[in-house]
């Protein structure tokens, strides 16, 4: 497995699933190979994935490697790589768990607004079908909302009732 193969697979998933990943944090998130994920792979795949973990343990998201599809202009744009990761809307991507035959991938995408609204994300199993990546299963999807803001909003909504 090469670094270029990793970026190609991530880019294909972003394109095939129409993901809007215009800005990403420079660090790949670590995605542990849990017992639940192991059920999706063969024993050969699990050995291959274990090798990827050590081979790419220090890999960072590099500029001009990830792309997303801009529907308005119908063009692919390079994803901006953020080196601070604490302002504005940005995405976090895990390093993908890739099967030995490169036909199955589990990857996590998270959207973080670094604001009062929270974020959302989850891990997904993608399988290559007819030359395209198809999301076939989801794991641990979540949507978060800033609890402090929610509580204050609730107080404002109910204040007139008191």
Short-list 138, 107, 101, CA closest to 31: 107
Please give the backbone phi and psi of residue 58, each rounded to the nearest 5 degrees, phi first: -110, 10
pLDDT in tens, 55-101: 998 999 999 999 998 888 888 999 999 999 888 889 999 999 999 99
Q: What is the DSSP string of 115-132?
A: STT-EEEEEEEEEEETTE
Helix extents (H) in 39-135: 43-55
Rounded to whole angstroms, the Cα distance separating 88 from 151 reads 23
Is there a contact between 135 and 122 (Cβ–Cβ < 8 Å)? no
Short-list 7, 34, 2, 1, CA closest to 95: 7
pLDDT band, very low/low/confident/very high, at 152 (cuts 50, 70, 90) = low
Contacts of 138 (CB under 8 A, 6+ apart): 122, 123, 124, 125
pLDDT of residue 153: 45
pLDDT in tens, 94-126: 999 999 999 999 999 999 887 777 788 899 999
Q: What is the pTM of this model?
A: 0.85
């Amino acid at each position: 497995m090469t670094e270029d193969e990793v970026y190609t697979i991530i880019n294909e998933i972003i394109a095939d699933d129409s993901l809007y990943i215009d800005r990403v944090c420079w660090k790949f998130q670590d995605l542990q190979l849990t017992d639940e994920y192991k059920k999706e792979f063969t024993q050969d795949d699990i050995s291959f994935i274990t090798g990827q973990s050590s081979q790419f343990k220090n890999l960072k998201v590099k500029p001009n490697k990830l792309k997303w599809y801009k529907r308005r202009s119908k063009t692919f744009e390079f994803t901006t790589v953020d080196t601070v990761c604490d302002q504005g809307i940005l995405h976090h991507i895990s390093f993908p768990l890739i099967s030995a035959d490169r036909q199955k991938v589990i990857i996590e995408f998270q959207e973080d607004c670094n604001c009062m609204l929270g974020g959302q994300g989850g891990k997904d199993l993608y399988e290559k079908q007819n030359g395209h990546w198809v999301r076939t299963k989801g794991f641990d999807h979540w949507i978060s909302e800033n609890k402090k803001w929610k509580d204050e909003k609730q107080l404002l909504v109910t204040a007139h009732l008191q």
